[in-house]
C-alpha cells in the first residue's frame, strides 16, 4: 500500500465521517479528541520552571504539567531541527524517513551541507505519510502554524502535505530570506519577528475557534527560542532569563492562550495537547544538567521537556520517568483519531497513552542517530555509544566510543563504565545491529 | 633586572642561607615551609568525592580537604595543558608569558598548531622565571616529577629551569614518542604507563625523604587522568567510575602516600601542600555542573578543584568560595620561602594565604584567555564574554559574545543577561581593556 492508497483507504475506513465536508455537524456524534502539538525550537530541558528553571517563569506550562502529565525522560528523535520535525510528522526516526540533516532555504543548495542535502532532496520525501495526511482523511481539520522546515519548494509545503492551512516561516528564523508564508504565498519579507509569536497565537486561536465543532489537528512548531531572539513589547526585557527568557515567556504565554481558548470553548476535555521542544538548547538555555547541547549525541542534544494535557482523561500531576520519543506523537494521534497505522512501512513511534497513564515505556530501546549514522542506544539506565568515525559531539574531544554510561546516576555522561560491564555493551551493540536491519537499505536517498 | 640578575640577587638576598650548599644543617635554623604542588591532568571539578563525585572514591583528598582548606571557586589560568603549567611556573597568565597553546613533542613542529607553536618557540621562554628558579637560590631543593610540558628541547627541560632533578614524561601521554626522562636522559621508550603512577610516587617519596632536613619544592604534575588511561594492577577495574576512575583513585592514593610520608617524617606542619588540576575534564570526567569542558572559555574549561593542607597553620575544614587562580601558587610560594617577587615584570598571581585563612580574593578580576586572546572576565558573580572572532568553545554554536552571565546562580552559563545589565557589561569590558594595557605589546613571541 503506497501513500496514496493509504490515504484513500484510511478515508474510506473512516466510514461514517463526512470526508471532504468536515462540517461541524460531524462532531455531534464524534468524540474523537482534537490534537494540539506545540513544539518549541531549541528550548532546553531545564528552561521551564516546572523542569527546574529559576530564571524563566513559565506559569502556563507549569499549570499544564500540574494539571496533566510531565515526562522527565522525553526525547527528540534527533539533535537538530528538520530531522526532529520529520519524526513528529512521520512517526519514524529520521534515519528511516531520510531527513538526516537540516534543510536550508531552497536557494541555499550549495551550503556546507550540500552533499547531504543533495543526497536527501529538498524536502520530506513525498512518499512519506505526514501526521496531517493521516488525520485529514479521518475528518480532521488540519493547520500548521510556525516553523515547518521540511522543505520550502511548493510541493513540500504544509498545504501539500495534508494541512488545510499554513502560516509561518518555512524554515529557521536565521535563514535568509526570512519570509512569512500564508499557505504557499509569501506575505512578508523580511518578517517582523518581534510580533511573530503574537501573530502565531492569533492564527492558532482563530483556527481553534473556527473548528471547535469538529475534530482538528493543530501543529504549532514555534520559531523561538531559536536565534535571533525576538519578543514583542510586552515581553521584551522582562524575563530574569534575559532576551532568551523573554522569548520563552512569550511563547509560553502563547501556550496559555491556546489552553485558555480550549477551556473557554468547552473543548478542553476533548483535546489532547502535547508540548515539547525539537532538540536540546543551542547558544543559550539549560540542558538540565546533561552533557552538551543541540547537535550532540550526548543527552543534552536529545533530551527535551514533554508535557501532556487532557483534562478528565490524564491523571493530574502525574510525573513519569518512562522513556518516550517525539516519534510517538504520530501513532498516538492516529490511534486517538480512530485511524490505523500504515502497514507498508515501519513506524518507530509507540502509542504514548500507556505511558501517559503511568505505564512503562513501550520502546525496547531509544536510538540516537546523527545524520545517517546510528551512534548510540539507551535501554533502561544504560546508554551505549558505539565506536564510529563520526561526531558524538562537536567539542574537540569528539569521543568516538565504544562507551557505556549509566545515564540515570551519571546524567553528565562523564564516566565510561565499559570496562566494568562489557556484556552490557555487547548486548546494546546487538540491539543496534538488529534495529539497523529494519532500516532502508543503501543510501537513504530522497524518495519522491 | 633580568632573569639572571633576579636569580643572583635573590640568592644573595637570602642572606644567611648556605646558597649552593643547601646542606641539611641549614634547616635547623630555617622554618620556611616545604612546598608541594600536585596537579592532576584533565581532572574535572566534580571528580572528587569531596567535590561531589558519587562515582570516584578519593579518601585521601577528602581527608586533605577536611584537614585543610577547600577552594570551590578555584581556576586554572588556561583551559589546556602547557599554558596552565606555564601559569603555575611563572605566576603569569599565559597571554603574558607567551605559552599560548600546547607544545607538541619537538619533532612535531608541523602540527595543525604549527603557526602558533612557531610564533611562541618551543618551550617556556628562557627569559621567564620559573618557580624553581625563584626558590632554588633561596636554598630550596627542587624536584619535578611528572608531566613537564613546557618544552622538550634540552634547554627547556626542568633541570635547566631551576629543578635539581626531573623524572617523568616531558609532555602529554598521548604524544609520540612517549618517553620517560630522568633529568635529561631518555630512560624508557615507549613508557610502561601502567606503572607510571607507582614510579612517580616512589620518586616523590625518595625526594622528600632525602630532603627532609632542608626546605624543598616538590612539583608533581601528574600524567593522569589525561588519556590514554592507565592504572596499575591493584587499581585496574576497581573504581565505580570505570577506567577513568581507576586512574584517579591511583593518583589520589599517590597523594595519600605523599601526605603520609610528610606525617611520618614529622614535617607535615612545615609543609604547604596544594592539589589542583590543570584544566577542566576532557573526554570523560565531570565539570561539576558547569558548561563545557577542557578547551572552552565557559567555566567547564577553567574550573578545577583546589585543596590546600598545612596542619597547624590552615584552619581544618575551611571551605572558601573566594575566586583564586593557579598563578597564585607562584607568589604564594615565593613569599613562604622568604623571597621577593621579580620587579621587572608583572606577576598576575596574588598571595593565596589570605584566602586560605578565610579572607576575600585579592584579584580584582579573573581573566579567561584562550590562545592569545583575552575573551572573558569574571568579577564577583558576573562573567562577561566580550565579542570576538575566536572560539568561546569548540561546540558548533560558538557563541561569540558579548554575553553576560551570573555564574553563581547560573553555573551552566545558560542565560545571557546583557540586555538587563548593559552597564555591568560595559564595566567589565573596561576592566579587560585596562588589564590588556599591562600585556606585552605586539605579538607575544617567543622571547629567549
CA nearest to A235, candidates A244, A188, A61, A283 = A244
With an 8 Å Cβ cutoff, is B174 touching chain A? Answer: no
With an 8 Å Cβ cutoff, is B151 touching chain A? Answer: no
A55 vs B contacts (CB less than 8 Å): 409-410, 414-415
Of B244, B399, B420, Cβ closest to residue A415: B244
pLDDT at residue B9, rounded to an integer: 63
In three-state form (DSSP H/G/I as H, E/B as E, the rest C), the secondary structure along B183-249 is: CCEEEECCCCHHHHHHHHHHHHHHHHHHCCCCCEEEEEECCCCCCCCCCCCCCCCCCCCHHHHHHHH
pLDDT at residue B110, rounded to an integer: 45
**Enclosing H/E stretch for B368:** strand B366-370
Tens of pLDDT, residue by residue over B72-107, are 999 999 999 999 999 999 999 999 999 988 888 875
Q: Give the mutation candidate from A48, A237, A242 for the B interface (greatest B CB count, under 10 A).
A: A242
Active site positions of A, annotated:
81, 149
User: CB–CB of B144/B163 below 8 Å?
Assistant: yes
User: CB–CB of A323/A378 below 8 Å?
Assistant: yes
Could you give the CA distance from residue A402 to residue A416 in angstroms, rounded to a whole number?
Answer: 9
pLDDT at residue B92, rounded to an integer: 97
Tell me if B242 and A393 make a contact (CB, 8 A cut-off): no
Q: Where are the beta strands (DSSP E) in A222-281?
A: 271-277
* Residue partners of A330: CB distance under 8 A and separation at least 6: A88, A89, A90, A91, A92, A131, A134, A347, A349
Q: Give the mutation candidate from B395, B400, B403, B423 for the A interface (greatest A CB count, under 10 A).
A: B395
| CA of B343 vs chain A CAs: smallest distance (Å) | 39
User: CB–CB of B68/B76 below 8 Å?
Assistant: no
Of A104 and B244, more confident: B244
- From residue A50, give the alpha-carbon distance in Å to each of A57, A70, A224, B410: 9, 9, 19, 17
Percentage of chain B beyond pLDDT 90 is 80
With an 8 Å Cβ cutoff, is B46 touching chain A? Answer: yes
Could you give the CA distance from residue A186 to residue A181 in angstroms, rounded to a whole number?
Answer: 4
pLDDT at residue B194, rounded to an integer: 98
Tens of pLDDT, residue by residue over B369-391, are 988 889 999 999 999 999 876 65
Could you give the CA distance from residue A231 to residue A219 in angstroms, rounded to a whole number?
Answer: 21
| DSSP per-residue letters across A337-361 | TT----SSS------SHHHHTT---
| Adjacent-strand bridge partners of A370 | A373
| DSSP per-residue letters across B19-76 | TTT--THHHHT--PPEEEEEEESS--TTSSGGGT-SSS--HHHHHHHHTSEEETTEE-
Tell me if A395 and B296 make a contact (CB, 8 A cut-off): yes
pLDDT at residue A31, rounded to an integer: 84
Quote ipTM for the complex. Answer: 0.91
Could you give the CA distance from residue A303 to residue A290 in angstroms, rounded to a whole number?
Answer: 8
Q: Mark whether B149 is an active-site residue.
A: yes
Tell me if B415 and A292 make a contact (CB, 8 A cut-off): no
Of A286, A409, A416, Cβ closest to residue B414: A286
Could you give the CA distance from residue B77 to residue B369 in angstroms, rounded to a whole number?
Answer: 8
Give pLDDT < 70 ranges for chain A.
1-29, 107-121, 389-399, 442-448
B296 vs A contacts (CB less than 8 Å): 395
Could you give the CA distance from residue A321 to residue A331 in angstroms, rounded to a whole number?
Answer: 20
Tell me if A54 and B294 make a contact (CB, 8 A cut-off): no
Q: Residue B145: pLDDT above 80?
A: yes
Could you give the CA distance from residue A169 to residue A152 in angstroms, rounded to a whole number?
Answer: 10
The three-point CA angle A269-A270-A275 to 5° equals 85
Chain B's closest residue to A43, CA to CA, is B414
pLDDT at residue A20, rounded to an integer: 35
Amino acid at each position: 500500500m503506497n501513500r496514496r492508497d493509504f490515504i484513500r483507504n484510511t478515508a474510506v475506513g473512516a466510514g461514517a465521517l463526512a470526508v471532504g465536508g468536515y462540517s461541524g455537524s460531524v462532531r455531534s456524534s464524534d468524540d474523537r479528541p482534537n490534537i494540539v502539538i506545540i513544539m518549541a525550537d531549541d528550548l532546553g530541558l531545564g528552561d521551564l520552571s516546572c523542569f527546574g528553571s529559576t530564571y524563566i517563569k513559565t506559569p502556563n506550562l507549569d499549570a499544564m504539567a500540574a494539571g496533566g502529565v510531565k515526562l522527565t525522560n522525553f526525547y527528540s528523535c534527533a539533535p537538530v531541527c528538520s530531522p526532529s520535525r520529520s519524526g513528529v510528522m512521520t512517526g519514524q526516526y529520521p534515519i528511516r524517513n531520510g531527513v538526516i540533516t537540516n534543510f536550508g532555504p531552497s536557494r541555499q543548495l550549495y551550503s556546507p551541507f550540500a552533499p547531504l542535502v543533495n543526497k536527501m532532496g529538498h524536502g520530506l520525501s513525498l512518499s512519506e505519510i505526514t501526521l496531517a495526511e493521516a488525520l485529514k482523511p479521518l475528518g480532521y481539520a488540519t493547520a500548521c502554524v510556525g516553523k515547518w522546515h521540511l522543505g520550502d519548494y511548493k510541493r513540500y509545503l504544509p498545504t501539500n502535505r495534508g494541512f488545510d492551512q499554513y502560516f509561518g516561516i518555512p524554515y529557521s528564523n536565521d535563514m535568509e530570506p526570512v519570509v512569512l508564508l500564508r499557505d504557499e504565498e509569501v506575505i512578508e519579507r523580511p518578517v517582523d519577528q518581534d510580533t511573530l509569536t503574537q501573530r502565531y497565537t492569533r492564527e492558532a486561536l482563530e483556527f481553534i475557534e473556527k473548528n471547535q465543532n469538529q475534530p482538528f489537528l493543530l501543529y504549532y512548531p514555534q520559531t523561538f527560542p531559536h536565534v535571533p531572539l525576538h519578543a514583542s513589547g510586552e515581553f521584551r526585557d522582562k524575563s530574569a532569563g534575559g532576551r532568551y527568557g523573554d522569548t520563552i515567556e512569550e511563547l509560553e504565554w502563547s501556550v496559555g492562550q491556546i489552553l485558555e481558548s480550549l477551556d473557554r470553548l468547552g473543548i478542553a476535555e476533548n483535546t489532547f495537547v502535547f508540548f515539547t521542544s525539537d532538540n536540546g538548547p543551542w547558544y543559550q538555555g539549560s540542558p538540565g544538567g546533561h552533557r552538551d547541547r543541540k547537535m550532540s549525541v550526548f543527552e543534552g542534544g536529545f533530551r527535551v521537556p514533554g508535557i501532556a494535557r487532557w483534562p478528565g482523561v490524564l491523571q493530574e500531576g502525574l510525573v513519569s520517568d518512562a522513556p518516550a520519543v517525539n516519534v510517538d506523537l504520530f501513532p498516538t494521534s492516529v490511534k486517538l483519531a480512530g485511524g490505523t497505522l500504515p502497514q507498508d512501512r515501519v513506524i518507530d513511534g509507540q502509542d504514548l497513552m500507556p505511558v501517559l497513564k503511568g505505564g512503562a515505556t513501550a520502546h525496547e530501546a531509544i536510538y540516537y542517530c546523527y545524520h545517517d549514522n546510528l551512534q548510540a542506544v539507551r535501554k533502561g539506565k544504560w546508554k551505549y555509544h558505539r565506536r564510529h568515525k563520526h561526531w558524538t559531539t562537536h567539542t574537540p574531544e569528539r569521543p568516538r566510543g565504544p562507551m557505556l554510561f549509566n545515564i540515570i546516576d551519571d546524567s553528565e555522561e562523564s564516566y565510561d563504565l565499559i570496562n566494568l560491564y562489557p556484556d552490557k555493551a555487547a548486548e546494546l551493540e546487538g540491539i543496534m545491529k538488529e534495529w539497523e536491519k529494519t532500516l532502508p537499505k543503501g543510501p537513504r536517498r530522497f524518495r519522491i
